[in-house]
Amino acid sequence: MVCKLDILKASPYFKGLNPEELEAVSGLAFEKKYERGEMLFLEGEKADAMYFVLSGAVKIFKTSADGKEQILAIIRPMEAFNEVPILNGGINPTSAQAMSTLVVCGMTGADMQLIMRDYCQVAMNIIQVMAKRLRQMISLVEDLSFRQVIGRVAKILLEYAADGAAGARLTQRDMAAMAGTAREVVSRSLKALEDEGAINIDRHRIVIKDRQALEEMVTPAV
């Protein structure tokens, strides 16, 4: 099992600190052991600490109103979690549960504030990590919304082609209104569907080449 100092040395948050500084930071960290299934914290509670996994694995999840659990991430040794709420003093946005016997190294929000005040390098490191995360989140949001729109556009195409109503013509703006998105997103979706070979756009005609592919996009496998 890695020790506190190893994990702090490897963490991007503490990059650039010299051995003495790392020792000082390590002195503020605490170790805690959890049994499989034990909860580390619950969504909605005030966040008290961020954690690094020394051994084992922890799942980060949210629970929907109807009790369904959605796992957002599985954190493995050397990885960190729950940094965001301790930086802004907020609540835990997720719950965390040990998936195995788990040993974590924790750092309270108050101690992280002290560390950032004493070592500006750590504050700079945190900004870099958070900026990288933000880019990843933007990319994820784009991907999710785009994928969902493709499914909705596919549904519209199938409905209107299947309808067979003579004279039923749709503009991209019509499709955007139906799909609840912007015209530009519909345009990109149509292009993507054409690139995937599901449709062929021949000037003012959209010809469905692969009906099954469109149907699969409407009801993606879960």
Q: What angle do CA 25, 31, 33 make, to 5 degrees?
A: 165
Rounded least distance, CB 102 to another protein, Å: 53
Among 118, 142, 184, 215, binds another protein (CB under 8 A): 184
CA 193 to chain centre: 25
Helix axes 120-163, 183-195, angle to 10 degrees: 80
Looking at 70-78, 94-102, 131-139, 166-174, which segment touches another protein (CB under 8 A)? 166-174
| Rounded distance between C-alpha atoms, residue 48 and residue 89, angstroms | 8
Q: What angle do CA 63, 69, 73 make, to 5 degrees?
A: 100
Query: What CA–CA distances, in Å, run from 69 to 45, 85, 94, 140?
Result: 17, 21, 11, 20
Residue 150: enclosing H or E segment and its boundaries? helix 120-163
Please say which residue, 132 or 173, places its beta carbon nearer to another protein: 173
Please say which residue, 157 or 217, places its beta carbon nearer to another protein: 157
Task: Kindly report the length of the chain.
Answer: 222
Interaction of residue 170 with another protein, rule CB under 8 A: yes
Please say which residue, 47 or 150, places its beta carbon nearer to another protein: 150
Looking at 33-41, 46-54, 110-118, 206-214, which segment touches another protein (CB under 8 A)? 206-214
How many beta carbons lie within 10 A of that of residue 1, not counting itself?
A: 8
Looking at 96-104, 105-113, 144-152, 169-177, which segment touches another protein (CB under 8 A)? 169-177
Interaction of residue 10 with another protein, rule CB under 8 A: no
Interaction of residue 204 with another protein, rule CB under 8 A: yes
The answer to whether residues 48 and 107 touch, using CB atoms and an 8 Å cutoff, is no
Over the window 120 to 159, marking each residue x when it contacts another protein by CB under 8 A and - when it does not, the resulting string is -------------------------------------x--
Interaction of residue 38 with another protein, rule CB under 8 A: no
Can you give the binding site for another protein, defined by CB under 8 A? 157, 160-162, 168-174, 183-184, 187, 200-201, 203-209, 211
